[in-house]
Amino acid sequence: AAEAFHGLEDFLAEHLDMIEPGLTLVKTEFHLANPNGASGFLDIFARAVDGQLVIIEIKRTNSAAREAIQELYKYAALLREKYLLKETEYRLILLSVEWHELLVPYSEFAPSAPYEIWAGEIVRGPDCLPVEIKRVEPIALAAHRKLAVRHFLWGFVDDASASAAVP
């Protein structure tokens, strides 16, 4: 299974235009040291046409996809620490073969992420190699309960203090 994963990663690293036109490879399995805990290995580290650094995280199975959001947060933090980057100087791409476990967490994460991120489904052919990357859009999730902007709630200890506040 690990060999198949590296085959998928290596194939995508050699065909970065399938992910996004103009990407150039910096390195696969790029090590990011972490003085405060577990280090990380970026699946694919690339550079965009505009010079932005790009972290590409690849997931193959639903069980592996469960870790994806945590890894993206960690990799972004380690990249900022290593290169003293601003959030506008890098972005993330999350690719997965399976989206059953990943769609809801990604949909919660993506709209509020402090950096640019997009996701794609890896569509594989009969030889298990990618034939297409289909963009995955975040789904609408239940919104937080809110009060209308112009409504105010006032609390009073008794009726007399509420009556006194009316004028």
Mean pLDDT in residue range 3-7: 55
Across the chain, mean pLDDT equals: 89
Q: Has residue 5 got a pLDDT over 50? A: no
Beta bridge partners of 11: none
The pLDDT assigned to 31 comes to: 94
Q: What is the pTM of this model?
A: 0.80
State pLDDT tens for residues 35-47: 888 888 999 999 9
Residue 134 — pLDDT band, cuts 50, 70, 90? very high
Residue the block writes with tokens 């919660």: 108
Beta bridge partners of 94: 57, 119
State which H helix or E strand residue 58 sits in: strand 53-59
- CA angle 76/77/83 to nearest 5° reads 85
Task: Tell me the DSSP string of 18-45.
Answer: HHSTT-EEEEEEEEE--TTS--EEEEEE
Please, are residues 75 and 42 in contact by the beta-carbon 8 Å criterion? yes
The pLDDT assigned to 151 comes to: 62
